[in-house]
Amino acid sequence: MPHHRFTALVTLACAACSSPAEVAERTGVTADATASASATGAAGAAKSVKEETDVFSYELSYPAQVGAIPELAAKIEADARRSRDEMLKAAEAEKADRQENDFPFNPHSLSNEWQVVADLPDYLSLSNSFATYTGGAHGMYGLTGLIWDRKAGRSFPSEELFQSAAMLGSEMGDALCRSLNAERVRKGMEIIAQGADPIFPACPSLDEATVLVGSSNGKTFDRITVWYGPYVAGSYAEGAYELDFPMTAKMLNAVKPAYRAAFSAGR
């Protein structure tokens, strides 16, 4: 995942705000006055890193499939560490300012949990579930997708497998909106009519979503997940919307020619 994209997501996260208890429940990160740090995972294996002080908490984990690719593991660790350092610097500055003005300070936090979506002969599809807290009313969380191209030895966002988000959405037709509205109903929310809500669209563009590619056969990508984060398809209280779809023959038209052989229509 390119650093500029991760930084943009973290910037969005910092604009929102959760109590330490809420963040702890979502991320598993708690804050106390004792500094601590731990790391597990040998080279080529799964890894888990935890760090905690009275200013900042940090977690990073990734599976063995990532550890087995040194270049990928190094990139993930470097990107996460860069974001960690930026947020720690901001947390330390805020703590100093609050102490100077006799205001209470809530420790900040950042967590990144990488998981395998699909492990194919030529590609590794990953998701990164991240969460941040910057001292306010509630934290922020999100999801990104990353592809490792084994033959090319490079990584890129999962959305780059497709010619454009608009084309993928067009080829999906009404299936995306129907699935989103069904999930709204399941959550006890009302279906949003087109143009009825000035804040949340009836069916947000895939430009505003994270698209993950999965596999049911272990050979090709034949499924996708569309993930709308907080404030995209509904309020923060509604939570994220995660929608799963089989690849169809029409959706295959949206795949870039260079990656077409890696896909098949699902059943």
Q: What is the pLDDT of residues 5-25, one digit of tens each?
A: 333 333 333 333 333 344 334
Q: Is the pLDDT of residue 87 over 80?
A: yes
* Percentage of the residues of the chain whose pLDDT score is greater than 90: 71
Q: Is the pLDDT of residue 48 over 60?
A: yes
Residue with tokens 């579930």: 129
Q: pLDDT category, 255, cuts 50, 70, 90?
A: very high
Residue with more model confidence, 137 or 31: 137
For 132-157, what is the mean pLDDT? 93
CA 106 to chain centre: 24
Structure tokens at 122: 């030529």
For 97-116, what is the mean pLDDT? 94
Q: Is the pLDDT of residue 30 over 60?
A: no
Number of helices and strands in the chain (H, E): 7, 10
Structure tokens at 213: 């590619």
Q: Is the pLDDT of residue 39 over 90?
A: no
pLDDT of residue 191: 78
For 192-207, what is the mean pLDDT? 75
User: Cα–Cα distance between 108 and 206 in angstroms, integer?
Assistant: 31
Whole-angstrom CA distances from 71 to 3, 68, 117, 251 are: 15, 9, 19, 32
Number of neighbouring beta carbons within 10 Å of residue 88: 18
Query: If we measure between CA atoms, which residue out of 128, 157, 163, 154 comes closest to residue 143?
Result: 128
Query: If we measure between CA atoms, which residue out of 267, 238, 231, 264 comes closest to residue 16?
Result: 231
For 125-130, what is the mean pLDDT? 98
Q: Is the pLDDT of residue 1 over 50?
A: no
